[in-house]
Structure 1
Amino acid sequence: MSHRIVRFCRDAAAALALACAMLPAQADWNKVQQSGALKVAVYSEFAPFSDHGAGIDIDLAEALAKKLKLRLTLLPFPAGENLGDDLRNMVWKGHYLGYGPADVLLHVPVDPHLMADNAKVQIFAPYHVETVRLVRSALAVPAYDGIAALAGKRIGVEKVSIAAMVLLGEDNGRFRDNVRIFPTAAAALEELKAGRLDAVLANRSEIEAVFRGDPAFPLEQAVFQRLPRDGWAVGMAVRKDDQDVARQLQAAVNDMRENGELQAIFARHGVRMVQP
């Protein structure tokens, strides 16, 4: 009898532990539903994705909330020193000033190294592939056959960006004296449009949103040794335990891609969505 009781208690404890392990994912989704709102973190001053309450990621956040039958609560925030800071402040812990965390953060690189370094988050649902491109003034740089064509030209980049890193380091700093640093890519692109720069190195989506195919500002592929030629996918991040929240968001993105809604959001902002 005693062995039977011990075995029963042990089996019951195991079953309870398994049930408890399965509860948080559903409980977290239930918590989101009960709140009535989907809290979405987006980067601020990040045109064309999110800037002053408008952009691709803002439209995406609105569409996700609508599909999940929730109202939208946006949490715009400035990028931190690194992605680990952003994931900590906006996904799994919250900022020490009391801002966040959100239910989901948009525009997170879907990168295995980033995932390995941030075990408390789940990165999923890639919805676009970003690449760095060069846009030039056809008047100032009439022909382009490689980065050497920019010798002596005024080139704009955004501070603390991939574009700035690769350009400043190219060929032992060959172009450093001609590089102009701007707070955002949008600011650099406006200077190019005004004729105060000869070229800008920036993300393709940022360039497309400003120039929208204007032949006076051709788009070129810029090859750098430290730059991934095929670009990088961007997706979403939630807390590691929020498995059911992730499933709901993934299903919503899949549906938007299949019915063309996702592509239409990008097109409204002059950007061609690239399928991951």
Structure 2
Amino acid sequence: MLVSLKRRTALLALIACTGTLLTLPARADLDKIRTLGTLSVAVYDDYLPYSKKAGGITGIDVDVAQALGKKMGLKVSFLPFPAGESLDDDLRNMVWKGHYLGYGPADVMMHVPVDPLLMNQNPQVSIFAPYHTDSVRLVRNIAAIPQFDGIASMAGKKIGVEKISISAMVLLGEENGRYRDDVRIFPTGVEALEKLKAGELDGVLASRSEIESVLRDDPRFEMREVAFQRLPRKGWIAGLAVKKTNPELASALKEAMESLFESGEMLRIFARHGVQIVKP
């Protein structure tokens, strides 16, 4: 542990001494961004169908960011990053301060929950421009489970969930752990859904966007809303975040987002990925 601490201290010292060697500071002021002609955008590096770094940055959030940049007359550069231990960490690293390893912050971060509690906990950022509401759904193999009368119909069946997710939390805790032996854990919801398509699972509990993007209206499967005691039925809303001291940038992005909705471009972006947009 001491060796690790010494290595980290040495790295921080190197960053301090080299200045811009390891960091490309974000130009958060709108005038400077327009002068440079490029908007830097932070996206999660493994969050399908919204963003994925492997094989070139792709996903819904990537397409939305490109469309926002075009509306603002700017090129877009992406800063993919791994999720931290909390959203507070992500906002600190990617929006208002930057990571201690020298990357970030970006001008704007995609897919930030538009949540009052998160806003109160992070006064250094502005969270705005809600563009999609997602929620948890259960999808099942109709051949394996012809009749569905609620979560009880899944007892004794193999149900896939993503590790460390709200889906895993609510299913593992439902009815005092009744379904624990039925749960199969996967690195991501998309991987669980691929196993469902391959016939290795009977159902998957995942986000509606994940289900729609993978299954694409496959008639072998049916998606249902299932009520869990600890699951918010209204889902969660995704928006944008910028540094609090940049209201001009926030205003320009909000205007561009509204234009994407008015023109129908947001609908088309989501449709390309097989997802039905739910405007907040």
Q: TM-score scaled by structure 1?
A: 0.89
Matched AA of 2:224: E
Matched AA of 1:179: V
Q: Which residue of 2 aligns with 1:165?
A: 169
C-alpha distance after superposition, 1:217-257 (max 9, x if no partner): 10011111111112121101111111011000000000000
Q: Which residue of 1 aligns with 2:43?
A: 42
C-alpha distance after superposition, 1:124-181 (max 9, x if no partner): 0000010100011111111111111111111111112111111111111111121111
Shift of 1:31: 1.8
Equivalences for residues 101-116 of structure 1 within 5 A? 101-116=105-120
Provide the secondary structure at the position in 1 that maps to 2:221: coil
- 1:66 matches 2:97: no
Aligned partners of 1:174, 1:113: CA distance in 2, in Å? 32
Aligned partners of 1:240, 1:160: CA distance in 2, in Å? 30
List runs of 5+ in structure 1 lacking aligned partners: 1-26
Aligned residue among 78, 84, 90 for 1:86: 90
Matched AA of 2:230: R
Equivalences for residues 259-274 of structure 1 within 5 A? 259-274=263-278
Shift of 1:103: 0.6
Shift of 1:81: 1.0
Q: Which residue of 1 aligns with 2:34?
A: 33
Q: Which residue of 2 aligns with 1:5?
A: none
Aligned residue among 152, 157, 160 for 1:153: 157
- 1:256 matches 2:268: no
Task: Give structure 1 regions of 4+ aligned residues with deviation exceeding 4 angstroms.
Answer: none
- 1:218 matches 2:222: yes
C-alpha distance after superposition, 1:63-103 (max 9, x if no partner): 11111111111011111111111111111111111111011
Aligned partners of 2:157, 2:83: CA distance in 1, in Å? 30
Matched AA of 2:178: R
Pick the structure with greater CA Rg: 1
List runs of 5+ in structure 2 lacking aligned partners: 1-27
Note the aligned Cα RMSD (angstroms).
1.3
Q: Which residue of 2 aligns with 1:11?
A: none
Aligned partners of 1:262, 1:147: CA distance in 2, in Å? 33
Deviates more, 1:173-182 or 1:194-203: 173-182
Aligned partners of 1:186, 1:68: CA distance in 2, in Å? 33
Matched AA of 2:101: L
Q: Which residue of 2 aligns with 1:177?
A: 181
- 1:233 matches 2:234: no
Q: Which residue of 1 aligns with 2:22?
A: none
Matched AA of 1:149: S
Shift of 1:34: 2.0
Shift of 1:35: 2.3
Q: TM-score scaled by structure 2?
A: 0.87
Aligned partners of 1:71, 1:144: CA distance in 2, in Å? 48
Aligned partners of 1:275, 1:108: CA distance in 2, in Å? 15
Aligned partners of 1:254, 1:98: CA distance in 2, in Å? 33
Shift of 1:203: 0.4
Provide the secondary structure at the position in 1 that maps to 2:84: coil
How many percent of aligned residue pairs carry the same amino acid?
A: 61
Provide the secondary structure at the position in 1 that maps to 2:255: helix
Matched AA of 2:35: Q
Aligned partners of 1:81, 1:147: CA distance in 2, in Å? 30
